Copies of this chain bind each other. A is one copy, B any other.
Amino acid sequence: MHPQKLEGNPAQPVIRRLNALRPLSEHGAVLLQQAIQEGLHRAGPGEDLVIEGEAVDSVRIILSGWLCRYKTLEDGRRQIVNFILPGDTCDAHLYLLSVMDYSIGTLTSVSYAEIKRSLFEKLVANDRSLAEAFWCETLVSGATQREWTVSIGRRVALERVAHLLCEIQERLHQVGLVDDGSCAFPVTQIDLADATGLSVVHVNRTLQELRNSRLIVLRDRMLTINDLSALQDLALFSPDYLRTKRRG
C-alpha cells in the first residue's frame, strides 16, 4: 500500500499506523479499507461511545478526532487512562472479555469505522499481516499504559505534564498530524488534570511554568513545542515505547 494511493483517503492514518507496526500486505490493506468504508460513523464532542460495565461486540477504528478512555470511582473521581488519536483502534480484541472495564468518551467530533466482531474476525483470519498489526497495536497500547503508570507514580507534576505532551506529539507525528512542531490539542485543563492525576489548578500552574520557560506554546487548542529535546529531557521522555520496530 503506497502512500500516494492514500491521499484524501479517510483510512490513511490507520493504514499508516498499522503499517508502521507491521507492514501490511496489499491484500490486507484492501480488505481493511473495504471494511472501513462500510462501517463509517460520526459522533459529536462529549459523547460516550463505550460505557464501563457494558459489553461491546465491535471494534472501532478512529479516522479523525480525539477520544479518551477513562474510569470513574463511585464518588465521581475520574481518571483518564489513555488518549485515543486518529489511526488508533479501540479495543481490537476486548470483545473476548465479557464487559468493558472502562468508558470511551469523545473530546472532539470524531469520525470512525465500526467493524462488527464477526467481520473483524474474518479480516484477521484472512490476512496474517493484519492480525499481527492489530495485536501489535494492542501491545503498544499496553506499553503506553505502563509508561503512564510510571509517569503518575514517579514523575513530579512538571515532568508528568511535559511527558504527556511529548507522548501525544510523538503519536500524532507517527500519523502525520504534526506540522513543524505544532499540532492540534483539543484537551481542556480539566481533562489534562484527569489524565495526569493532578488538580486543575496545579495543571494550570504547571502549564504556566512550561510556557514561561518558553518550552511550549499552548493556545486556542493548538500546541507548539518550541524545543523538543529540552522538553523531552525535562520529562525524562524516551519515545522507544511508542516506536515498535518490525521484528523477524
Contacts and interface: CB of A to CB of B under 8 A. Distances in A.
Contacts of A148: 149
A94 B139 contact: yes
Contact of A102 (B97, B140, B146, B247): B146
Interface string A104-147: 00000000000000000000000000001001101111110111
A42 interface: no
A79 B147 CA distance: 10
A7 to B, nearest CB: 30
Contacts of A135: 93, 96
A140 B97 CA distance: 8
A246 interface: yes
B196 A154 contact: no
Contact of A236 (B74, B143, B150): B74
B79 A197 contact: no
Interface residues of A, number: 50
Contacts of A79: 149-150, 153-154
B142 A138 contact: yes
A236 B74 CA distance: 7
Number of copies: 2
A136 B74 CA distance: 27
Interface string A13-39: 000000000100000000000000000
A11 to B, nearest CB: 23
A81 B149 contact: yes
A139 to B, nearest CB: 6
A155 B98 CA distance: 26
A155 B120 CA distance: 37
Contacts of A81: 146, 149-150
Contact of A96 (B53, B136, B153): B136
A151 to B, nearest CB: 9
A221 B31 CA distance: 55
Contact of A247 (B53, B96, B150, B152): B96
Nearest to A243: B98
